[in-house]
Structure 1
Amino acid sequence: MRKILLLSEVFPPTHGGSGRWFWEIYSRFPDGSVVCMVGEHPGAQIVDPEFPHTIYRFPLNSREWGLRSYAGFRYYLKVWSRLKKLVKTDDVAQVHCGRILPEGLAAMFLNLTHGVPYTCYVHGEDVEVALTSRELKLLTKLVMRRADRIVANSQNSLRILLDKWQLPEHKVVVMNPGVDVDKFIPAPEHQRFEKWVGKRVILTVGRLQQRKGQDMMIRALPILEPRFPNLHYCIVGGGAEREALIELATDLRVSHMVEFAGEISDTDMVMHYQNCDLFALPNRRIGNDDEGFGMVLLEAQACGRPVLAGNSGGTRETLEHGVSGVLVDCSTPEPIAEALHALLQNPNELLVMGEAGRRRVLQCFSWESLAKDALRLFQID
């Protein structure tokens, strides 16, 4: 059997929704059908044996995604050189690229020299950011033009590709990320989370970056505290905004209400989802940066938790507004506080929303069904 080569810098144990997406989908492909060339990580030797296909680790990170700099040119030359070797040694028939840039550009060079077709995934924010640079915009167009197909992670990403990049609709297919419905489950009845006893907990999981909206959630806390003095906001994840968020909580005198949990294990992650009262991803658009989908919203709903999300980007596709959660304008803290006030004062409604979210995830977003869709798309028996 000739193989698919998955080319992606982001791949477990590196944190990121796209990497988890690739792991879950391609791990369900038939034996001998996939080989992976993915980014390096110090914990790779622990997780790689759990993946059923061959994994090659390679330095796929680069500060330069363009070609005008020596560093960028040298980067693509190294990746292309490695790719052409794998085409021969592993009998590669097609390349699947985690992003348009940089992975897709390297695959385009391979296509030009060896005729190997390639597919590129698009996550929304990646092609939005490319519009801010003349060089990256040109390179992105070239990669898209020669690609066999583009896989968009949401209807929102599809609209970006059609409206802003003028891609023909027949070239793009929408394939949503999903969730492990056997791993992310409602809390067992006997389970207790000691650190949150007596608290009403709002949880956010994700990189600490502006578009995720942790800052707006913190700004909403002073509004909510008089009505909910036991309110507790837990932030899971790391990133560049950590110090700014700590300073913001201090300035607003709500540090006692905010927990920075940092990066945690998958087991602890599930327990955090299971034991919060409500999950919030108060995302908003920052310049050209927007949330492409929001896998964490699916994980929370799979655990039977109601969710709040920003009405920006692709997050609206992860929930049913008014049924499993709410969509809110998260560009300012006041609408967030208003929505949370209405939800938190009605525990029965939160319970019903959580149950509805679990049902919807089981029906639409399980990895098993999504992997079958992917197998049909890529015509693998």
Structure 2
Amino acid sequence: MSRTLVVTNDFPPRQGGIQTFVAALLERRPPGSLVVLASRSPGWEAYDAQLPYPVVRQRTSMLLPTPATARAAAALVREYGCDTVLFGAAAPLGLLAPGLRAAGARRLVGVTHGHETGWVALPVARQLVQRIAGGLDVVTYISGYTRGRLAPALEGRTRLAQLSPGVDVDRFTPAADGTAVRRRYGLGDAPVVVCVSRLVPRKGQDVLVAAWPRVLARHPGARLLLVGGGPDEARLRRAARGLGDAVVLTGAVPPAQLPEHYAAGDVFVMPCRTRRGGLDVEGLGMVYLEAAACGLPVVAGTSGGAPEAVLDGESGTVVRDPRSPEAVAAAVTALLDDPPRARAMGAAGRAWVERRWSWTTIAADLAALLEP
């Protein structure tokens, strides 16, 4: 069996979207085919002890393409006979690629996650990403949007291939029970619109709160459940103060509890918008897919790849002006007005996620990249 060396700074037990993505990819590879080189984070010893493949941790909390990291990675390629290398995030660790090829690796794949679209918009960072791409056989992208941003800078230097995050369809499921969450926040049997995301301006929770009086005018008992923490929390609490118990902010929620928080809702809404001249943008929008997997219809904004996570008119609605409280309220009330249509959209979304976005499908995509 051929082996893959995975070189990544982003690896559990450190939490984050990239860490979750990388760990989920590896979970679905044959254990005997992997060896990982990673940085250290609190709890790493216990985490590594339960993994079915070897993990080598550098004595650093930030794995960078230093000479020490280069030596360690090359030694692992030789020791384990690794013929492929997967960089959990192509930049900047992909700078190690030429040395690993010299050590015996035949195929090198670098993963991107969305923020690289901002890098290629800046001259110095763009040159770095171009240099990295030139040493790799494949650079992956998470959505058509991110490919469109990366391609002008990278095409001709490497092959571009899609490798999106996936959804655990056994965890995020219509069978998830939101009863305890509804009880905890006093939601009763009210119609609930839920938004699960970090509280930052790009995600659009501020527009959703501004839209809520219009929703209440048509559905007086409706409740808005904002799940997550972030720097915008205090501002959102102030904005919602005049709405009483119609708006609930939960604060940060452990990842294991997310399915039940989705399940507490009837409709999922996150009207994300692009900011800072295109530098602050949604790469894909996994929360739409998780919500759809739980059987909820979704309302999305237009930022970046977000519309690709919705079958517009089938699994939900893309709001063309996500900065407009009126437009967001209209999309929400249209779904609350017609529960049978909302349920049908939720069912269509669940079927689509099972077919296109499950980790089984994504794992097959990775296998095709590593074993062409």
**TM-score (norm. length: structure 2):** 0.87
Deviation (angstroms), 1:256? 3.3
Deviation sequence 1:24-49 (CA, Å, 0-9, x none): 22211112111223343334455445
Structure 2 counterpart of 1:232: 223
- The number of residues matched between the two structures is 364
Give the letter for the 2:164 counterpart: N
Q: Structure 2 CA distance, aligned partners of 1:229 and 1:43?
A: 47
1:142 matches 2:144: no
1:269 matches 2:258: yes
Structure 1 counterpart of 2:162: 174
Give the letter for the 1:172 counterpart: L
Cα contact 2:77–2:100 (8 A) shared by 1: no
Gaps of 5+ in 2: none
Give the letter for the 1:127 counterpart: E
Structure 2 counterpart of 1:217: 208
1:92 matches 2:88: no
Structure 2 counterpart of 1:37: 37
Task: Compare 5-14 and 132-141 and name the one that shifted more.
Answer: 5-14
- Identity over aligned residues, as a percent? 30
Task: Compare 292-301 and 190-199 and name the one that shifted more.
Answer: 190-199
Gaps of 5+ in 1: 63-73
> Which of 254, 260, 264 is the aligned partner of 2:249?
260
What SS does the aligned partner of 1:165 have? helix
> Which of 90, 111, 114 is the aligned partner of 1:121?
111
Give the letter for the 1:261 counterpart: T
Structure 1 counterpart of 2:362: 370
Distance change in 2, residues 1:36/1:304 (3 Å): same
Q: Structure 2 CA distance, aligned partners of 1:230 and 1:169?
A: 56
What SS does the aligned partner of 1:226 have? helix
Q: Structure 2 CA distance, aligned partners of 1:40 and 1:343?
A: 46
Structure 2 counterpart of 1:71: none
Give the letter for the 1:256 counterpart: D
What SS does the aligned partner of 2:312 have? coil
**TM-score (norm. length: structure 1):** 0.85
Cα contact 2:82–2:104 (8 A) shared by 1: no
Structure 2 counterpart of 1:23: 23
Structure 2 counterpart of 1:157: 146
Cα contact 1:128–1:289 (8 A) shared by 2: no
Deviation sequence 1:84-111 (CA, Å, 0-9, x none): 3433444333321222323323x34634
RMSD: 2.8
Q: Structure 2 CA distance, aligned partners of 1:188 and 1:136?
A: 43
